[in-house]
Chains A and B, each alone.
Chain A
Amino acid sequence: MVRPIAGAAQLVERARHFFSSLPDTVIATAVWLLFAALVIWAVTSEAQLVVVGIIVGSILALGAIGLTLIYGIMKFANFAHGDTMMLGAYVAFFFLTGQVARDATEDAELPWSIGSLPGALEPIGKLTFGYGLIIGTVVAAMVIALLLVALNRLVYRPLRQRGSGIVVFAVASLGLAMATRALMLIIWGPDPRVYVSGIHMADKYDLGFTTITLKADQIFMFAVAVVLTALVYLLLFRTKLGKAMRAVTDNPDLARVSGIDTERVFTWTWVIGGALVAVAGVLLALQAQLNPNLGFVLLLPLFAATILGGIGSPQGALAGAMIVGISQEVSVGIDLSIGGADILPLAPAYKFSVAVVIMIFMLLLRPQGLFGAKA
């Protein structure tokens, strides 16, 4: 009798062995070439989806960079990162509109909000939102950064002082993730919300071989993500704090021996990771909508991006987020059937499963990621 499971397991084991025996550069080059080929193919046939994927990828990158910094520096998987992202979006919403859910059907509105400032909701140029949302985003970034610093003090630091293992940290963060989601449900209710209601017009752009439609908001999202990523890069490679963060990632004991105050580095990591993920939350809510359950779903692409790029590597997280974002979006538009069974396109609701598939393959074949060093 044939045992397909055992056969598949053997195949995976062989593939794993083969891939782990290859030099780093060979496999990285092969993956990049494969990816480049896929991109060229996808760009020519599904340019629209690729562009949306790049935008989603750049937003995911902001979350994934924070996740990978926290993992690299504090050595644990922060399962609360997705929900924190959504909380950032809601905090910006709150400051912009002053709205909270009174009961199941009705909202209560605070007497004052940023949106009540003169002209705060007036659309800027072709964007759908006014300066109110920008202020709201900055405030949300600060609030989330402070919240994470407080949680670090209240939860993670006591655990560190007790010498807890990584599992304890991961479970603690899972608890915070659930608490965060419950908080969003209580304050803003389960129904999706948007920053600006109504139908938003998109512009057509002629790329020569094809035309794509893009909203001004989407260009804005991409620009913000690019600027913030560049700032993170400058921080990590040009400032003393950033170099200390990389040093702690490399070797926390030696960092301590060198006189680096690791607790201070941890605090700043939460500030940076929190600010980035809050902005990412706002941008994502602008692209899609505010939904208290979206945070947990987002955890999958965030982790997939982080693992794909190599845990602890910010450059890797950026590349991983782009790959996950593009694959996810393109998966809903491409027809692919194998042996008469339709594999693609996926129903849009299932597009996050692409991230899971990428993550599983990466963990099986190359757990250190595209950029990670071999253990």
Chain B
Amino acid sequence: MTVLEAREVVSGYGEVEILHGVSIRVEEEEIVTIIGPNGAGKSTLLKTVFGLLPCKRGKVFFGGEDVTGQSPQVMARKGVCYVPQSDNVFPSLTVQENLEMGAFIRRDDYRPKIEEVLALFPDVLERRHTRAGKLSGGQRQMLALARALMLDPRILLLDEPSASLAPNMVDLVFTKILDINRSGVAIVMVEQNARESLNLSHRGYVLAMGQNRLEGSGESLLNNEEMGKAYLGG
């Protein structure tokens, strides 16, 4: 079953149109990676799907329901959570408080969920009363993922989860993403580390100039000749 679908989406910042009709779909329990050169519109696509940017034309569906133009709050309530590329934690709040803010719209007792989420990230668990601003880059990224899990999402939108991380942290973050996916959460991520992220993805999309360029399974994209030349550095 399709969890999320963007159909012929046109969007951008103000007057500037960046996406000229992009379509993607994410099936249940899938990991989908979106790659493409700078300015291709990858992040714009995630922001438009999540309602952070207005969708000028086209449609967004979540679980078959038309959610085009819904606010981020509504999307989060429905089960779509988004992790921005940078500034994705509250630096002056403790780890614990960051997670409480992740659960802000939950009406039930979310304390067990905090324990459950922290158990996934032992590094961060140890520092639960530390201010997030004092965490390392990798720990911050873990906390950002943990925060997004507080609402039991059906799908996570990740904007460059491995950006500006040390190589060993990149592997760790990807391992965690795989763990999260195995627990039944669909994932769509935008990545610069094309090779590594396609390796663990079920499918991938290549965007260029605000349009769909290629599409296929992770493996087929890795072996694609055009891909190799243009985006994987030979």
Residue ranges of A at the interface with B (Cβ–Cβ < 8 Å): 240, 243-244, 246-247, 249-251, 253-261, 373
Contact = CB atoms under 8 A, between A and B. Distances in A.
Contact of A243 (B73, B87, B97, B151): B97
A-B pairs with lowest CB-CB distance, top 8: A259-B105, A250-B90, A259-B76, A259-B73, A247-B101, A247-B90, A260-B104, A259-B104
Contacts of A257: 50, 52, 72, 76, 82, 84
B36 to A, nearest CB: 23
Given A254-B87, A259-B73, 11 more contacts: A251-B87, A251-B89, A251-B91, A255-B90, A256-B72, A257-B82, A257-B84, A258-B102, A259-B72, A373-B91, A373-B133
A152 B228 CA distance: 55
A373 B133 CA distance: 10
A258 B93 contact: no
Contacts, number: 60
B76 A258 contact: yes
Between B52, B77, B100, B104, the greatest number of chain A beta carbons within 10 A of the residue's beta carbon is seen for B104
B193 interface: no
5 contacts: A240-B104, A243-B101, A251-B87, A251-B89, A261-B73
Q: Is the interface of B mostly helix, strand, loop or mixed?
A: loop
B94 to A, nearest CB: 10
B154 interface: no
Contacts of B203: none
A246 B97 CA distance: 10
B106 to A, nearest CB: 9
Contact of B93 (A250, A253, A256, A261): A250
A75 to B, nearest CB: 15
A243 B93 contact: yes
B15 to A, nearest CB: 14
Contacts of A251: 87, 89-91
B88 interface: yes
Contacts of A246: 90, 92-93, 97
B75 to A, nearest CB: 9
Nearest to B150: A258
B152 to A, nearest CB: 13
B84 A250 contact: no
Nearest to A256: B72
Interface in B65-83: 72-73, 76-77, 82
B192 to A, nearest CB: 21
B147 interface: yes
A45 B97 CA distance: 46
A255 B92 contact: no
Contacts of A254: 84, 87-90
A102 to B, nearest CB: 52
A85 to B, nearest CB: 27
Nearest to A72: B92
Interface string B8-48: 00000000000000000000000000000000000000000
Contacts of B92: 246, 249-250
Contacts of A258: 76, 101-102, 104-105, 147
B227 to A, nearest CB: 32
B83 to A, nearest CB: 8
A240 B72 CA distance: 20
Contacts of A260: 101, 104
Nearest to B98: A247
Nearest to A313: B92
A244 B84 contact: no
A255 B98 CA distance: 10
Contacts of B89: 251, 254
A374 to B, nearest CB: 11
B91 A250 contact: yes
B102 A253 contact: no
Contact of A256 (B73, B90, B102, B133): B73
Contacts of B87: 251, 253-254
Between B90, B91, B97, the greatest number of chain A beta carbons within 10 A of the residue's beta carbon is seen for B90
A236 B83 CA distance: 25
Contacts of B82: 257
Interface string B117-148: 00000000000000001000000000000010
A100 B147 CA distance: 55
Contacts of A247: 90, 93, 97, 101
A255 B52 contact: no
